[in-house]
């Protein structure tokens, strides 16, 4: 039996590797290859899956590791930063999508109950797929990535609530009792986790960090253990895994834990997408061809529009709104589970499950391209998106003259601001994060809210009088655009920018940058200069140590973390 399972999984993984390689050659997302592998090995084609339960368990482990790692980057300060926007956008998108979806379903002649099920199913987006895509793209730490994670989790909570109601539909009182009991259990567990994270985990982390093996085992046990606990009390394992990561997010070992978990995540999450593909149903599809196309277009286009309207009303830029909107352009595994439950309780036919399944496949594939290539799509749509941005975002007044203009405040920008203050230089900070702008205004620092990739905004800045322009944004395309805008009006300004890749640094120099900051190399260079300066003088190094500790404390208070650069580009 064990050998049969081993052979089965081996064959499936070989096929997955082949399809992934084909996608890579075609320059397509590998997720598509994994889903196609699932379809090929499903009962509709080769029928190779005999150990479905085993594969499902492996896929759930992958989901748990994925959300655990995401939780490690979501410390409470990040949650506070995007919590309001995530809540309003998450709830608003569910409400508007379900209303419009219900109307479309009724137009196609579906009865009221069926229309209601379809409408609700269309509102949920796949947290797992989005987390993976944002992680692959390196955008988890960007503003739109944080907001997207937030409203996707809001959606998941709403989905869990609806699933409880549907599964307990036979008795309304029973459903109400189940929900109240679940809320009480969940609240008690979260309260317990807060206490543990404050008073127990710091000591445990210090103990386990003495051994790399122990730290690895503790991380696996903590992540999977909490995921299982939440599942046992009736909540989703996804929420448990995410909270497990959040409780360790303030630990000084969170980056080390994250790096150890990533190989496990990458392996097991492949099985999740294979299982997802294998569970797609294609029976009696032809009669629902037109509704499938309309519903798919509504999700791929309508959902992003709803999110863009909501985020524009909250004061975010059109680019942030567009990128966040693309993350809801598909339906999730919760959608399929909801429809399957509807079939089980006798509210729906299996034909509706086939309809929603095909919509799921179409929107997952479509949204994958939208998310991965959003940076290239945005310039094509930019001039049409101004209606989704508040008038107050753009400044029509004439800008003042500044010696230095700093683009991007977080992390590296923090040090530059301190230097400008000491030198008493007149400087301006430009950032697109409303929270950052709010904090800078409190500190009475000259700042402007705007998107560096918005040419119209850059034209309103007094770039021609600036003696120096510094970009702390590591994105190559953004820096290329910025250098071009500056050099167009100012040939004498000193331009500094950031890059994490040597080849990109060469290109930025050729574009007109005067100096490219490479943080990973700069640290080593500074340390070697200290050796040249201090030799083996222990007292001087201790002085540097004290300064560095104070600097790190200030950074930690501001919620700054050292970014992780994707290894494969």
Domain identity same for 106 and 90? yes
pLDDT of residue 1: 59
Would 192 be classed as within a structural domain? no
Domain identity same for 320 and 465? no
Would 561 be classed as within a structural domain? no
Element counts in the chain: helices (H) and strands (E): 25, 6
Domain boundary among 370, 388, 406: 388
CATH number, residue 350: 1.20.1530.20
Domain boundary among 373, 388, 403: 388
Domain identity same for 163 and 122? yes
pLDDT in tens, the chain (569 residues): 567 888 888 999 999 999 989 988 876 778 788 888 988 998 878 888 887 888 888 888 887 887 788 778 666 655 566 677 788 888 888 999 999 999 999 999 899 999 999 999 898 888 778 877 887 777 776 778 888 888 887 887 777 677 666 655 544 455 556 667 767 777 788 788 888 877 888 878 778 777 778 888 998 999 999 989 888 887 777 778 878 888 887 777 777 787 788 888 888 888 887 887 787 666 666 778 899 999 999 999 999 999 999 988 888 888 888 999 999 898 876 787 678 778 777 788 877 877 887 888 889 888 888 998 888 898 888 888 888 876 554 343 445 788 999 998 866 777 788 788 877 778 899 887 767 777 888 888 888 877 787 776 787 788 888 999 999 888 888 899 999 999 988 988 999 998 888 888 889 999 999 998 887 777 676 677 777 787 778 888 788 888 778 767 766 665 555 554 443 33
Domain boundary among 336, 369, 388: 388
Nearest CA-CA partner of 448 in 433, 429, 471, 463:
429
Residue pair 143/320 in contact (Cβ under 8 Å)? The answer is yes
Domain identity same for 459 and 373? no
Residue pair 248/73 in contact (Cβ under 8 Å)? The answer is no
Would 199 be classed as within a structural domain? no
pLDDT of residue 393: 47
pLDDT of residue 78: 57
Domain identity same for 299 and 420? no
How many domains, the chain? 3
DSSP E strand stretches across 181-270: none
| Residue corresponding to tokens 């999984």 | 9
The structure tokens listed for 48 are 């190779």
Long-range contacts of 168-174 (CB under 8 A, 24+ apart): 169/345, 170/345
Q: Which domain holds residue 413?
A: 394-517
Strand-strand pairing, 427-431 and 515-517? unpaired
Residue pair 117/339 in contact (Cβ under 8 Å)? The answer is yes
**Which residues does residue 497 pair with via DSSP β-bridges, in sequence order?**
471, 516
Domain identity same for 367 and 419? no
Would 426 be classed as within a structural domain? yes
Would 245 be classed as within a structural domain? no
Domain identity same for 153 and 269? yes
pLDDT of residue 238: 73
Torsional sign, CA 336, 338, 344, 346: negative
Domain identity same for 375 and 325? yes
Would 365 be classed as within a structural domain? yes
Burial 206-216 (b: 16+ CB within 10 A, else e): eebbeeeeebb
pLDDT of residue 499: 87
Would 78 be classed as within a structural domain? yes
Domain identity same for 410 and 348? no
Domain identity same for 422 and 463? yes
The structure tokens listed for 144 are 């739109």
CATH number, residue 441: 3.40.50.720
Domain identity same for 398 and 501? yes
Rounded CA-CA distance 124/238 in Å is 15
Domain identity same for 351 and 417? no
Would 57 be classed as within a structural domain? no
Those residues whose C-beta lies under 8 Å from the C-beta of residue 272, and which sit 6 or more positions away, are 59, 60, 62, 63, 128
């Amino acid at each position: 039996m064990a050998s049969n399972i081993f052979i089965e999984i081996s064959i499936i993984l070989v096929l997955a590797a082949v399809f992934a390689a084909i996608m890579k050659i075609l320059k397509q997302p590998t997720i598509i290859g994994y889903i196609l592998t699932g379809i090929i090995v499903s009962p509709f084609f080769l029928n190779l899956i005999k150990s479905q339960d085993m594969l499902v368990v492996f896929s759930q482990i992958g989901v748990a590791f994925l959300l655990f790692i995401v939780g490690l980057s979501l410390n409470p300060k990040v949650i506070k930063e995007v919590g309001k926007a995530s809540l309003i956008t998450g709830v608003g998108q569910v409400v508007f999508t379900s209303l419009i979806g219900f109307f479309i379903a009724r137009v196609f002649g579906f009865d009221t109950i069926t229309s209601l099920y379809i409408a609700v199913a269309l509102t949920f987006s796949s947290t797992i797929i989005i987390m993976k895509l944002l992680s692959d793209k390196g955008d988890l730490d960007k503003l739109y990535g944080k907001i997207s994670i937030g409203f996707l989790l809001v959606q998941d909570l709403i989905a869990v609530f609806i699933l409880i109601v549907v599964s307990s539909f036979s008795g309304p009182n029973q459903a109400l009792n189940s929900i109240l009991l679940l809320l009480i259990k969940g609240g008690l567990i979260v309260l317990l986790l807060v206490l543990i994270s404050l008073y127990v985990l710091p000591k445990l982390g210090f103990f386990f960090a003495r051994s790399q093996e122990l730290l690895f085992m503790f991380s696996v046990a903590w992540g999977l253990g909490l995921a299982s606990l939440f599942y046992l009390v009736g909540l989703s394992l996804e929420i448990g895994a995410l909270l497990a990561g959040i409780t360790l997010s303030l630990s000084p070992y969170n980056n080390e834990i994250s790096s150890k978990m990533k190989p496990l995540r990458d392996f097991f999450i492949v099985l999740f997408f294979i299982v997802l593909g294998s569970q797609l149903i294609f029976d009696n599809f032809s009669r629902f061809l037109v509704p499938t196309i309309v519903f798919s277009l509504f999700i791929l286009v309508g959902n992003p529009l709803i999110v863009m309207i909501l985020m524009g009303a909250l004061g975010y830029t059109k680019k942030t709104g567009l990128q966040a909107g693309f993350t809801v352009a598909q339906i999730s595994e919760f959608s399929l589970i909801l429809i399957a439950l509807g079939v089980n309780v006798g509210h729906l036919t299996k034909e509706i499950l086939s309809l929603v399944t095909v919509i799921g496949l179409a929107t997952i594939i479509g949204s994958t391209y939208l998310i991965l290539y959003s940076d290239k799509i945005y310039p094509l749509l930019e001039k049409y998106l101004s209606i989704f941005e508040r008038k107050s975002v753009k400044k029509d007044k004439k800008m003042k003259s500044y010696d230095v203009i700093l683009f991007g405040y977080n992390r590296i920008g923090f040090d530059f601001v301190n230097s400008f203050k000491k030198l008493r230089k007149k400087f301006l900070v430009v950032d697109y994060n409303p929270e950052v702008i709010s904090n800078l205004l409190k500190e009475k620092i000259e700042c402007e809210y705007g998107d560096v990739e918005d040419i119209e905004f850059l034209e309103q800045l007094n770039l021609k009088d600036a003696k120096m322009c510094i970009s702390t944004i590591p994105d190559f395309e953004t820096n290329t655009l910025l250098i071009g805008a500056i050099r167009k009006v100012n040939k004498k300004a000193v331009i500094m920018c950031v890059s994490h890749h040597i080849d990109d640094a060469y290109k930025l120099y050729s574009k007109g940058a005067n100096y490219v900051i490479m943080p990973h190399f700069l640290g080593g260079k500074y340390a070697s200069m200290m050796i040249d300066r201090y030799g083996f003088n222990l007292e001087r190094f201790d002085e540097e140590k004290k300064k560095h500790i104070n600097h790190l404390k200030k950074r930690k208070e501001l919620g700054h973390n050292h970014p992780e650069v994707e290894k494969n580009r």
